[in-house]
Amino acid sequence: MKRSTILVVVARFLIPLIMLFALYVQFHGEYSPGGGFQAGVLFAAAWILFVFIYGLETGLRVIPTRVIYALASLGVLLYAFIGLLGVVMGGRFLDFYPLLESPHAAQQAGIILVEFGVGVTVATVVMLIFLMFAQRRAMTDAAERSE
Amino acid sequence: MLFAIYSLTIAALFAVLDAGDVALTEAAVGAGISTILILAVLALVPRHEKRAFGHNIPALIVVLITGAALVYASFDLPIFGDPNNPVHTQVGQYYTQNTYGDMGVPNMVAAVLASYRSIDTMGEAVVILTAGIGVFALLSAPVRRRRESATDRTSDKDSAT
């Protein structure tokens, strides 16, 4: 993409704000609207904007493909692990009450951790889908050029 | 473009209706991500549509039957806004009355999503991961095998010029 000064300046200003808002939505999920899913999508949108401005290679230097694969699975695993932790601590699957002494604190901790898992998975899967489409374009171009 | 405008309007409507969670999702996913993904797909496909001749009668019949069945089923829906609807009389009441006492969490949506209905949400996370794996499996196959589409594209270019 041709470097447009307006785009670069505005994006530099916006990307940290979007990421900060995503983190706010993520970790403030039990008080205000939003949660893991919304936060994940917002975070991924910030990364996609970054890729639009600086190119896919720079975007992949920020978060390599392997990290995307790993985090996508780890988010779901974190969710299941919290669920199993409830079983180990003497409750049922995905029962948050045994996690901590105070029942309210236990529920809040469980909700935050579980939502964090959802957020990580959603963010990385959206990045992955976008990355796949972008790389596919490069692959078809390369195949056409070699023909 | 139209989809994005539509999603943004719907998101504004949700915000007006005090459904902040849905509004946030609609604005981020509907207006943002899906527009980007549609653009990414448009960059992949050939520029000209392949014209299909004739009509597909069986497909028309299937669509008509499905549509008729859906319209017929809609007569059984509860009356809009009726206080005796199942949505108002079943678990919803329990959630509105007891969520704060059970969880100490002011956002009822988060409490229902992550704690009361936690296994559903875990299933959703798995579905999202599966969708990512599916796209990965479809789009990381080598390009060279798809000779036909490549020749299509060149013939499209020829006909265009």
User: What is residue B157's predicted lDDT score, i.e. its pLDDT?
Assistant: 45
Query: B20: which chain A residues are within 8 Å (Cβ-Cβ)?
Result: 32-34
A112-135 pLDDT, tens per residue? 899 999 999 999 999 999 999 888
* Domain segments of chain B as ranges: 1-45, 91-161
Lowest pLDDT segment from A88-97, B7-16, B27-36: A88-97
- CA terminus-to-terminus distance, chain A: 25
Query: B106: which chain A residues are within 8 Å (Cβ-Cβ)?
Result: 30-31
User: What is residue A1's predicted lDDT score, i.e. its pLDDT?
Assistant: 53
> What does each C-alpha distance from B15 to A7, B20, B24, B32, B114 come to in angstroms?
29, 5, 8, 17, 22
User: What is residue A31's predicted lDDT score, i.e. its pLDDT?
Assistant: 82
Query: How far apart are alpha carbons B106 and B159 in whole angstroms?
Result: 62
Contact B114 A139 (CB under 8 A): no
Mean pLDDT of B87-94: 78
Nearest to A124 by CA among B150, B57, B128: B128
- Cross-chain CB nearest to A137 (options B32, B44, B144): B44
If DSSP states are collapsed to H, E and C, what string results for chain A? CCCCHHHHHHHHHHHHHHHHHHHHHHHCCCCCCCCHHHHHHHHHHHHHHHHHHHCHHHHHHHCCHHHHHHHHHHHHHHHHHHHHHHHHCCCCCCCCHHHCCCHHHHHHHHHHHHHHHHHHHHHHHHHHHHHHHHHHHHHHHHHHHHC
A74-86 pLDDT, tens per residue? 999 999 999 898 8
Mean pLDDT of A33-50: 89
Nearest to B49 by CA among B161, B153, B144, B158: B153
- pLDDT top residue among B151 and B123: B123
Distance from the Cα of A44 to chain B's closest Cα (Å) equals 9
Residue A105: band (very low, low, confident or very high) from pLDDT cuts 50, 70, 90: confident
Contact B125 A93 (CB under 8 A): no
User: What is residue B155's predicted lDDT score, i.e. its pLDDT?
Assistant: 46
Task: Name residues 3-42 of chain B within 8 A of A (Cβ).
Answer: 20-21, 23-25, 28-29, 32-33, 36-37, 40-41
Report whether pLDDT(B149) > 70: no
Query: B103: which chain A residues are within 8 Å (Cβ-Cβ)?
Result: 104, 107-108, 111
Report whether pLDDT(A139) > 90: no
Report whether pLDDT(B160) > 60: no
User: What is residue A76's predicted lDDT score, i.e. its pLDDT?
Assistant: 93
Residue B123: band (very low, low, confident or very high) from pLDDT cuts 50, 70, 90: very high
If DSSP states are collapsed to H, E and C, what string results for chain B? CHHHHHHHHHHHHHHHCCCHHHHHHHHHHHHHHHHHHHHHHHHHCCCCCCCCCCCCHHHHHHHHHHHHHHHHHHCCCCCCCCCCCHHHHCHHHHHHHHHHHHHCCCCHHHHHHHHHCHHHHHHHHHHHHHHHHHHHHHHCCCCCCCHHHHHHHHHHHHHHC
B25 CA to centre of own chain:
11
Establish, for the pair of chains A and B, how many residue pairs have beta carbons separated by less than 8 Å. 152
Domains held by chain A: number: 1
Domain that holds residue A131: 5-146
Residue B53: band (very low, low, confident or very high) from pLDDT cuts 50, 70, 90: confident
- Cross-chain CB nearest to B28 (options A45, A93, A143): A45
Contact B104 A104 (CB under 8 A): yes
- pLDDT top residue among A1 and A115: A115
What residues have CB less than 8 Å from A119, skipping those under 6 apart?
A26, A35, A36, A37, A39, A40, A43, A75
Report whether pLDDT(B145) > 70: no
Average pLDDT of chain B to the nearest whole number: 82
Query: A94: which chain B residues are within 8 Å (Cβ-Cβ)?
Result: 118-119, 122
Nearest to A129 by CA among B83, B29, B110: B29
B18-46 pLDDT, tens per residue? 888 888 888 888 888 888 888 888 888 88
User: What is residue B64's predicted lDDT score, i.e. its pLDDT?
Assistant: 96
What residues have CB less than 8 Å from A125, skipping those under 6 apart?
A72, B128, B129, B131, B132
Give the residue on B whose Cα is nearest the Cα of A79.
B122
| Residue B40 amino acid letter | A
Query: How far apart are alpha carbons B44 and A130 in whole angstroms?
Result: 12
User: What is residue A128's predicted lDDT score, i.e. its pLDDT?
Assistant: 93
Distance from the Cα of B45 to chain A's closest Cα (Å) equals 9
